[in-house]
């Protein structure tokens, strides 16, 4: 009996000692894992909502935001069982929110965590006007609060494919941010850059922490005295950083509106400054929502840096090779009867152009002229000049930064192509198809516009930037991306040939296939292209136009491509090119970088 009583007392003593240790002695370092019981007891009663991700802003050259618009939003906190509020309060709030009682009650009744009005079912936060904010504050309701909240991808944002998107990618987090993961600076569920600038500049944009609003309650979900809604934000005046691009958001917006007005289903447009190759605008269609990305679709893909068949704009490379190698006499003529007579090779003009010089053949985009010229060139020579004009490799800004030894500004930029892996490069028929930008030839719109920039700079091109610098929130420079020349092991084409090709581009507009540009606000010059492609079993075409303007004092190089169009469709490349140049002419832009 005594032994039994002793054991019972011993058990109680042990339990009491354990409870004393847990509740008094080890509240901030319980177990081998060092769990802080006081902190965790508070966390269990904390209801938090992220208002700003802490991610860096992406701005245009005039410091206008492309991402991260700040809006006034309504946050609801489920602090008690009467959260939905009484009838009078609901009616007043519903009136201010421009909704009905039923919608508010459906939103509020089953709320378990703080939530922003309008974000249910994957929607966007409803942006409140200053009058709405004033009226909501006047209601004095403890369960709701108006806050300033980041809208990372605002409605109507431009350059969506270039900017890209963020999302969860645990595998990539482990691969790239393994050390930060171990230190608790990042979680497997953290959102990181998934495409575009968000991805390529993710290391800079990630920031140092979120801004959130928290509400502390007791077990009955009643607000704790002195611990009601509180803002929690990182105490660092240098972050988030500002990513300053070379884009002009106004020009970008107008170009995208023009593409939609022309009902361009699939295509891209690039505008570069002639003086240094900087990208002023880069648009891609179809459009997409960065908030609802379907990875199986290609609508989020930036077609401006994706390689596709160029058609006759490639004749610029053939002409450059022929001129620099002095393979063609300026007065020499080639007779076009509509067909070459072998390989089934024909001209787009079935009845033929008659006798043409190389200059006239370029203006009229005559296939027969360029087939004859290609007979004097080798595959190796053609490849050399394609490299000199920068259409075979990635051309976007690449260099060393403080963070990386090798850094590329453009995410997933594709190379160009002359021949496929198993194509017989010495086959004459293959070379003739290649000369007119068909068969295996591929080029990106960025490479195409940059080729024009190279010609405008007498054969010495640039590696185009789309981001010029990164600044701390204080305005101090964090990282700079200087203008860089585009260097090729093949060298560059001559200044004389560059000037000749630019004058020939003017003839394309005055006398050739680009005469539809004669009514533009500026005098323009360029080169048209139509590439036949196979899309499944259907024959489609890519419509191209590349060029520059104004002719007298060139300021901009532009390339446009309309992809996968029906051969019977009217040409939209020339109207798009003309419209873009008219936008630029109307802006009266000056170098504001």
Measure the CA angle with vertex 283, ends 566 and 584; round to 5°: 105
Half-sphere exposure of 1 toward its Cβ, with a 13 Å CA cutoff? 0
Instruction: Please count the other Cβ atoms lying within 10 Å of the Cβ belonging to residue 394.
Output: 19
Question: Six-digit token pair at 378?
Answer: 């080798």
Beta bridge partners, 59, equal 65, 244
> Average pLDDT, whole number, for the chain?
88
> Superfamily for 249-290+302-587?
DD-peptidase/beta-lactamase superfamily (3.40.710.10)
Segment among 189-193, 239-243, 435-439, 466-470 with least mean pLDDT: 189-193
| Residue (of 164, 220, 242, 226) closest to 413 by Cα position | 164
Q: What are phi and psi of 442, to 5 degrees?
A: -135, 145
Select the more confidently predicted residue: 48 or 207.
207
Other CB atoms within 10 Å distance of the CB of residue 503: 12
Cα gap 302→587, rounded to integer Å:
25
- Cα separations in angstroms, 275 against 317, 459, 556: 21, 13, 8
183 CA to centre of own chain: 31
The band of 227, judged by pLDDT with boundaries at 50, 70 and 90, is: low
Asked whether the whole model's pTM tops 0.75, one would answer yes
User: H-type helices in 196-282, by residue range?
Assistant: 196-200, 202-205, 249-261
Residue of 144, 145, 143, 189 whose CA lies nearest to 170 = 189
How many angstroms separate the CA atoms of 477 and 242, rounded?
9
Q: Closest Cα partner for 381 from 307, 454, 457, 317?
A: 317
Residues paired with residue 541 on neighbouring β-strands, in sequence order: 532, 565
Which residue bears the tokens 């922003």?
116
Q: Across the strands, what pairs with 531?
A: 542
For residue 115, pLDDT over 80 is answered with yes
Say if residue 163's pLDDT is above 70: yes
The average pLDDT across 573-585 equals 98
Mean pLDDT within 113-138: 86
**Cβ within 8 Å of residue 418, ≥6 positions away:** 379, 382, 383, 386, 392, 434, 440, 441
Q: How many whole angstroms separate alpha carbon 77 and alpha carbon 85?
A: 12
Q: What is the pLDDT of residue 77?
A: 80
**Number of residues written out for the chain:** 593
433 φ/ψ angles, rounded to the nearest 5 degrees: -65, -40
Q: Where in the chain are the domains?
A: 49-68+152-245, 72-151, 249-290+302-587
Query: For residue range 55-114, what is the model confidence (pLDDT) as tens digits?
Result: 999 999 999 999 988 999 998 887 655 555 667 888 899 999 999 988 888 888 777 778
Mean pLDDT confidence for 437-465? 98
Average pLDDT for residues 407-415, to the nearest whole number?
Answer: 97
- Euclidean distance between the first and the last CA atom of the chain, given in angstroms as a whole number: 93
pLDDT band of residue 245 (cuts 50, 70, 90) is very high
Supply 576's token pair. 């798009």
Lowest pLDDT segment from 184-188, 290-294, 347-351: 184-188
Residue 566 has pLDDT above 50, yes or no: yes
> According to the 3-state scheme, what is the secondary structure of 88-145?
HHHHHHHHHHCCCHHHHHHHHCCCCCCEECCCHHHCCCCCCCHHHHHHHHHHCCCCEE
Gap between the Cα atoms of 129 and 136, Å rounded: 11
247/490: higher pLDDT: 247
pLDDT at 36: 45
For residue 43, what pLDDT is reported?
39
DSSP string for 186-213: S-TT-EEEEEHHHHHTHHHHT-S--EEE
| Residue (of 197, 217, 189) closest to 53 by Cα position | 189
Under DSSP, the state recorded for 459 is T
Buried-exposed string 181-192: b where 16+ CB fall within 10 A, e elsewhere: beeeebeeebbb
List C-alpha distances in Å: 167 to 26, 157, 195, 300, 301: 39, 18, 9, 13, 15
142, with CB counted inside 10 A (0-12, 13-18, 19+), is middle
Please state, for a pLDDT cut of 70, what percent of the chain lies above it.
Answer: 87
Give burial (CB, 10 Å; 0-12/13-18/19+) of 426. exposed
What is the share, in percent, of the chain residues with pLDDT greater than 90? 67
- Strand positions, DSSP E, 489-550: 525-535, 538-549
CA distance 442 to 544: 13
pLDDT digits (tens, 9 = 90+) for 527-559: 999 999 988 889 999 999 999 999 999 999 999
| pLDDT at 113 (0 to 100) | 77
How, if at all, do strands 354-356 and 334-336 pair?
antiparallel
Q: Residue 203 pLDDT more than 80?
A: yes
Q: CA 287 to CA 303: how far, in whole Å?
A: 11
- At residue 38, the pLDDT reads 45
- Distance of CA 398 to CAs 244, 395, 481, Å? 17, 8, 9
pLDDT in tens, 499-513: 999 999 999 999 999
**Banded pLDDT at 221 (limits 50, 70, 90):** low
pLDDT at 44 over 50: no
Architecture of the 49-68+152-245 domain: Alpha-Beta Complex (3.90)
Q: What are phi and psi of 98, to 5 degrees?
A: 60, 45
- Inform me whether the pLDDT recorded for 18 exceeds 50: yes
Per-residue pLDDT tens for 264-295? 999 999 999 999 999 999 999 999 999 999 99
For residues 203-225, average pLDDT: 73
């Amino acid at each position: 009996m005594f032994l039994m009583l002793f054991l019972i007392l011993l058990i109680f003593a042990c339990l009491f000692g354990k409870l004393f240790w847990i509740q008094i002695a080890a509240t901030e370092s319980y177990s081998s894992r060092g769990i802080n019981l006081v902190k965790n007891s508070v966390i269990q009663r904390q209801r938090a909502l992220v208002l700003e991700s802490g991610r860096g802003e992406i701005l245009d050259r005039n410091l206008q935001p492309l991402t991260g618009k700040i809006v006034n939003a309504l946050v609801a906190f489920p602090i008690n069982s009467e959260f939905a509020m009484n009838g009078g309060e609901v009616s007043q709030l519903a009136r201010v929110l421009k909704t009905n009682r039923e919608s508010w009650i459906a939103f509020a009744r089953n709320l378990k965590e703080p939530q922003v009005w309008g974000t249910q079912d994957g929607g966007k936060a409803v942006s409140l006007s200053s009058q709405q904010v004033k009226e909501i504050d006047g209601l004095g309701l403890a369960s709701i609060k108006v806050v300033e909240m980041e809208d990372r991808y605002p409605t109507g944002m431009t350059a969506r494919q270039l900017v890209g998107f963020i999302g969860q990618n645990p595998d990539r987090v482990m691969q790239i941010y393994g050390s930060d993961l171990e230190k608790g600076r990042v979680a497997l569920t953290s959102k990181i850059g998934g495409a575009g600038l968000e991805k390529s500049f993710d290391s800079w944009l990630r920031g140092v922490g979120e801004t959130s609003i928290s509400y502390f309650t007791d077990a009955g979900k009643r607000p704790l005295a002195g611990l009601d809604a509180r803002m929690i934000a990182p105490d660092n005046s240098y972050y988030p950083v500002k990513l300053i691009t070379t884009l002009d958001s106004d020009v970008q917006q107008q170009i995208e509106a023009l593409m939609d007005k022309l009902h361009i289903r699939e295509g891209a447009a690039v505008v570069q400054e002639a003086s240094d190759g900087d990208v002023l605008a880069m648009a891609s269609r179809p459009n997409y929502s960065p908030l609802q990305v379907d990875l199986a679709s290609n609508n989020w893909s930036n077609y401006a840096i994706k390689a596709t068949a160029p058609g006759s704009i490639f004749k610029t490379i053939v002409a450059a090779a022929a001129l620099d190698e002095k393979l063609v006499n300026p007065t020499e003529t080639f007779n076009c009867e509509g067909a070459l007579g072998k390989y089934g090779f024909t001209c787009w003009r079935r009845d033929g152009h008659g006798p043409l010089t190389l200059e006239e053949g370029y203006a009229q985009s005559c296939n027969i002229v360029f087939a004859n010229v290609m007979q004097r060139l080798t595959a190796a020579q053609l490849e050399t000049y394609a490299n000199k004009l920068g259409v075979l490799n990635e051309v976007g800004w690449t260099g060393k930064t403080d963070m990386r030894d090798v850094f590329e500004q453009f995410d997933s930029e594709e190379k160009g192509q002359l021949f496929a892996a198993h194509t017989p490069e010495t086959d004459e028929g293959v070379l003739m198809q290649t000369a007119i930008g068909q068969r295996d030839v591929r080029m990106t719109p960025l490479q195409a516009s940059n080729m024009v920039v190279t010609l405008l700079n007498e054969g010495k091109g640039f590696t185009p930037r789309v981001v010029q610098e990164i600044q701390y929130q204080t305005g101090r420079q964090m990282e700079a991306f200087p203008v860089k020349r585009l260097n090729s092991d093949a060298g560059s084409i001559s200044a004389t040939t560059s000037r000749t090709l630019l004058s020939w581009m003017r003839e394309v507009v005055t006398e050739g296939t680009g005469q539809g540009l004669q009514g533009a606000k500026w005098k323009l010059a360029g080169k048209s292209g139509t590439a036949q492609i196979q899309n499944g079993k259907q024959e489609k075409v890519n419509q191209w136009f590349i060029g520059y303007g104004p002719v007298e004092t060139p300021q901009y190089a532009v390339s446009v491509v309309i992809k996968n169009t029906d051969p019977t469709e009217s040409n939209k490349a020339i109207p798009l090119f003309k419209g873009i140049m008219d936008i630029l002419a109307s802006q009266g832009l000056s170098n504001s970088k």
